[in-house]
Structure 1
Amino acid sequence: MGRYLFRLPDVGEGVTEAEIVAWHVKPGDKIREDDNLADVMTDKATVEMTSPVDGTVTAVHGDVGAMLAVGAVLVELEVEGEGNAASAPLPPAGGDGGGPDIVQAQPEPAPSKPSPSPSRKREGDEVASTRKSVALPRVDIPIGRKEAFAAPATRRRAHELGIPLQFVPGTGPGGRILPSDLDDFIAAGGMTRAPGGLAVRTGGEEIKIVGLRRRIAEKMQEAKRRIPHIAYVEEVDVTELEALRVAMNAKPAEGQPKLTLLPFLIRALVRALPDFPEVNARFDDDAGVLHTSEGVHVGIATQTPGGLMVPVVRHAEAMSLAELAREITRLSVAARDGSAKREELSGSTITITSLGPLGGIATTPVINHPEVAIIGPNKIVEKPVVQGPFVGVRKVMNISSSFDHRIVDGYDAALFIQELKRLIEHPALIFMGDGA
C-alpha cells in the first residue's frame, strides 16, 4: 500500500488560494476515481475537487471556511501501489480556520464497511450552537420587573447563558437574585410565561459565515469602505413601454422569448452610455486610473440559494431584445444552479439590480466594485398623474441609482438618469436606427 497526497490544484487566472466550503469525505471513507472530495471557492466560482485515484481517505486538511494555498495538501489517501509520497507524516498545514487544520485518521486499518460520507450542505450553513435552551415545562412567574438585583458574578453567568435577569424570580433579601435562583430557573425550563401564554425566548445560535456568503460580505464591505456613494432616485412613466412590452409578448416574433423589463432597460442604457463614458467604466483606485469601455458589459444582480451573484451580459450593445432576454435567462439559471463559469461572473462595466415585484418604492444599491455606477429599477405601480388639464392613471416606476462620487459628480449623475428617463418614457427612441 502507498500514500497519495491530493494537493489543491492551480485552477488558473492567477488564483493563489481557495476557501473550503464543503467536505464530501472523511477519514475512513473508501472512494473511487472521480468521486467528489470537497468543494472549494475561488472568488465567486465554486469548484468540485475530484479524486484522481481509488483509495481510502486517511486524513482531510482544513475546516469549512479555511483558506488553503494552491499546492497545499487537501486530502491524504491510502492507495494500491507506491502512491506519490513517502510514508512519513506531514507537518500541520497553515490556515485561517481558527482550529486544527489536519484531521488525522487512527492508525488502525479502515473498517470493511466505512460509514457514509457526510451529506452535502449548502454554503454558509455551518452552524454552532452557543447556548442550550432547556426544553422543560414552562414556569408561571410574574414578569414585568424593570430592575433585577444580583451580584456581579450572577449577572455575568446569566449573560453567558443568555438569560434576562428581570424574568428570574429572586428569593434573596429585597428580591435579590441568588445563584440558586438562577439554577432553579434553568432547571425549571429557562422560560417564563406571560399573560395570554406568550413566552420569553432566551435561545440563540452562532452561524459561521463561509463560502459565497463570506465573499459577498467581504465585497460589500470593500465597496462601502472604498467608494463614496451618491444616490439618485427619479420617477419614470413606463406606461408606453409597458404597452409595447405587452404587445410584443402577445404576438412574439419567431424565436422570441417572453420579454421582461430588463432587456428594454439594457437597450436604453446602451443608447445613453456613449454620452456618459465615465459611467460605463471601472475605477482602479489603487493606481488612480479610470478604465472606460465602449462595450457595454451589464452585470445582472441575481439572487441564488447561496446568496447574491452577478453574472455578466457581455457586449449588450450588439444584442437585440430577444438575444438579451435569452442571455439574461441563461445566465440567471447558471448562477442559481452553480454552473456559471468564472468568466461569466466577472468583467462587468455597469450593474443592474432589481427585486422585481418586491422592488419597493426606492433603494440605495451598493456599487459593484470596481464599477462606478449601479442602476436599480423598482416595482411598477399605477397612480394618478396630472397631464395638463387632465388627471389620468399611469404606470410609474422609480429608478434608484448609486454613483462613485470620486468619478461622477451629482450633476452628471442627474443628467445621465434624466437621459435614461427620456428613453424609457419614449421607447421608440431606444430603437431608432437600430435593428433590434
Structure 2
Amino acid sequence: MARFTFKLPDIGEGISEAEIVAWHVAVGDRVEEDQSLADMMTDKATVEMESPVAGVVVEIAGAVGDQVSIGAPLVVIETEGEVASPAAEPATLEAENPGVEEVAAKPSPLRGEGLGEGSEPRREVGLGETPAPHPSPLPEGERESASHTASTPVLASPAVRARAKDLNVDLTAIRVPEGERIRHADLDAYLRYNAGQGYHAPHAARARDDEQVRVIGMRRRIAENMAAAKRHIPHFTYVDEIDVTALEDMRADLNAHRGERPKLTLLPLLIVAMCRTLPDFPMLNARYDDEAGVVTRAGRVHVGMATQTDAGLTVPVIRDAQDRNVWQLATEIARLAGAARANKLTPQELGGGTITVTSLGPLGGIATTPVINRPEVAIIGPNKIVERPVFRGDDIVRAKLMNLSISCDHRVVDGWDAASYVQALKKYLETPVLLFAD
C-alpha cells in the first residue's frame, strides 16, 4: 500500500486559492482514475478536480465553503501500489492547508469520523440546499430502467432539491440522461406523469422550521462582488420609455423567415443598437481602475450578459460584439447561456467585459436599477414590454412600450451623457430599419 497526496493545481492565472463548493467523494470511498473528486471555485470559474490515481480516500481537506491554497493537499488516496508522489512530503493534510486544523478539531460530516458499520457519511448543506428526501418506491415498470440513478450521485441544484423535499419527491426516481442535472422541468414532468398514480402534491401552505445555511460558492462570490460594486461605485440610474412596436413587428418577420437560424429575442437587436451607438459615447464602453485612477475606453465592444442559473447569477461575455450580425449574436447568446447553466464556462468567457446587459425577460417589471458589473462603468436593463394605448397625432393606437434602464458610475459618466446615450439607442430601436443600414 502507498499513499498519494493530490495537491490543488494552479487552475487560473493569478489565483492563489480556491473554494470547495462540492465534494463528490468522502473518506472511505473507493475512487477510480479520472473520477471526480471535488468542485473548486475561483473568482472566474468552477473547476472539477479529477483523481489521477485509483484507490481509497483516507483524508480530505475540510468542508464545503473552505478555502484551499494552490499547491496545498486536497485529497489523500491510499493506493494498492507505488505511485509517483513526492516521497519527502508526508501524506497528511494537517498543518499544510490553512483552516484544516480547525476542521479536524471538531467532528466534521465530510471526514467520516464516528461512522458505524453500514452508516453513510453526511453531507454538509450549502446555501439553499436541503438533504435529499427519503427514498420512495419507483413506479411499477420503471425500477429497472431507472436503477442506474440510485447508484450514482443525483445532480440537482439547491433550489430543485428544496422543492423536491417540499413535495416529498425522491430525486433518484427521476430519470435524466447520464451526467445531466435534474431541473425544475424534469420535476414538473415527473409530477404530471405520476398525477394519476396516487401522487398528490400538498395544497395547503404550512410552516417550515428556521434553517441556517452557509453563504458559500457562487452565492458568496455574488455577495462579495455586489457589495464591492455598491461600496466603491456611486450609482445613478436613468430610465426612459421606448416604443418597440416596429421593432417587435420586424422581429416577428425575421423569425418567420429564419430557416435554420436561431430564433431572435430582443437581446441581439438591442446589442446591435448598442454597438452602433457606443462609438459616439466612449465613456460608457469603459473600465475604471479606481486604485490607479485610470479609465480605459475600450475600442471594441465586449458585452457582458447577466445570466440566471440554478447556482446564481453569472455574467458570460460576448466578445467583439461589434463584428457580429444579429444572427451570429443570437447564436452566441444561446451558446453562452447554455454553457452558463451547465456550469461549463471557461475563465476567458467570464472576463474582459466592457459593458453589461441584464434582463428579466417577461418578469422585467416597470423599471430596474441594475448594479454595475465592476470595473465596468455602465449596465443596461431592458424591462418588460407592455401594450398600451398611445396618442399618434389625433388618433389613439395600440403600441408596444418598454422602459429601458441604464445605471452608470457617476465618477466617470455624467447624467447628460447617460440620457443622451439612451436617446441614441431609442432612435435605433424605434426605427429598427436603421439597425441594418450602412
Indicate if the aligned counterparts of 2:17 and 2:70 stay in contact, CA closer than 8 A: yes
Question: Match of 1:244, SS?
Answer: helix
Indicate if the aligned counterparts of 1:350 and 1:371 stay in contact, CA closer than 8 A: yes
Partner of 1:221: 227
Partner of 2:257: 251
Partner of 2:289: 284
Q: Which among 324, 327, 336 is matched to residue 322 of structure 1? A: 327
Indicate if the aligned counterparts of 2:20 and 2:65 stay in contact, CA closer than 8 A: yes
- What pairs with 1:16-415 in structure 2 (closer than 5 Å)? 16-83=16-83, 84=85, 85=87, 89-95=92-98, 99-100=102-103, 124-125=127-128, 203-252=209-258, 254-415=259-420
Cα deviation code 1:39-95 (max 9, x no counterpart): 110114111111101111111111110111100111111113344245575533444
Residues 65 and 95 (structure 1 numbering): CA distance in 2 closer, same or farther, change over 3 Å?
farther
Question: Match of 2:76, SS?
Answer: strand
* Matching residue's letter, 1:29: D
Question: Match of 1:203, SS?
Answer: coil
Structure-2 separation of matches of 1:393 and 1:294: 40
Cα deviation code 1:169-213 (max 9, x no counterpart): xxxxxxxxxxxxxxxxxxxxxxxxxxxxx9995831111111111
Structure-2 separation of matches of 1:245 and 1:107: 61
Structure-1 separation of matches of 2:400 and 2:23: 50
The gaps in structure 1 that reach 5 residues or longer are 129-197
Indicate if the aligned counterparts of 2:247 and 2:432 stay in contact, CA closer than 8 A: yes
Partner of 1:4: 4
Indicate if the aligned counterparts of 1:263 and 1:325 stay in contact, CA closer than 8 A: yes
Cα deviation code 1:368-408 (max 9, x no counterpart): 11100000000111111112222211110000110000000
Structure-1 separation of matches of 2:27 and 2:311: 27
Structure-1 separation of matches of 2:250 and 2:25: 54
Q: CA offset at residue 296 of structure 1?
A: 0.8
Indicate if the aligned counterparts of 2:59 and 2:93 stay in contact, CA closer than 8 A: no
Structure-2 separation of matches of 1:292 and 1:101: 50
Q: CA offset at residue 107 of structure 1?
A: 11
The gaps in structure 2 that reach 5 residues or longer are 132-203
Question: Match of 2:103, SS?
Answer: coil
Q: CA offset at residue 5 of structure 1?
A: 0.6
Structure-1 separation of matches of 2:359 and 2:113: 55
Cα deviation code 1:153-176 (max 9, x no counterpart): xxxxxxxxxxxxxxxxxxxxxxxx
Partner of 1:131: none
Q: CA offset at residue 106 of structure 1?
A: 8.7
Indicate if the aligned counterparts of 2:2 and 2:78 stay in contact, CA closer than 8 A: yes
Indicate if the aligned counterparts of 2:60 and 2:93 stay in contact, CA closer than 8 A: no
Of structures 1 and 2, the larger Rg is shown by 1
Residues 107 and 66 (structure 1 numbering): CA distance in 2 closer, same or farther, change over 3 Å?
closer
Q: Which among 428, 432, 436 is matched to residue 427 of structure 1? A: 432
Residues 105 and 415 (structure 1 numbering): CA distance in 2 closer, same or farther, change over 3 Å?
closer
Question: Match of 1:64, SS?
Answer: coil
Indicate if the aligned counterparts of 1:127 and 1:205 stay in contact, CA closer than 8 A: no
* Matching residue's letter, 1:76: V
How large is the Cα RMSD of the aligned pairs?
2.8
> Which segment drifts farther, 215-224 or 89-98?
89-98
Q: CA offset at residue 271 of structure 1?
A: 0.6
- The alignment's TM-score, normalised by the length of structure 1, stands at 0.77
Question: Match of 1:207, SS?
Answer: coil
Structure-2 separation of matches of 1:123 and 1:329: 29
Structure-1 separation of matches of 2:205 and 2:318: 51
State the aligned residue count. Answer: 360
Indicate if the aligned counterparts of 2:76 and 2:92 stay in contact, CA closer than 8 A: no
Structure-1 separation of matches of 2:216 and 2:378: 28
Structure-2 separation of matches of 1:383 and 1:105: 61
Cα deviation code 1:209-249 (max 9, x no counterpart): 11111111111111101100010000000011111101111
Identical positions, percent: 52
* Matching residue's letter, 1:365: P
Indicate if the aligned counterparts of 2:36 and 2:50 stay in contact, CA closer than 8 A: yes
Cα deviation code 1:343-367 (max 9, x no counterpart): 1111111111001111000010000
Q: CA offset at residue 4 of structure 1?
A: 1.0
Q: CA offset at residue 423 of structure 1?
A: 1.1
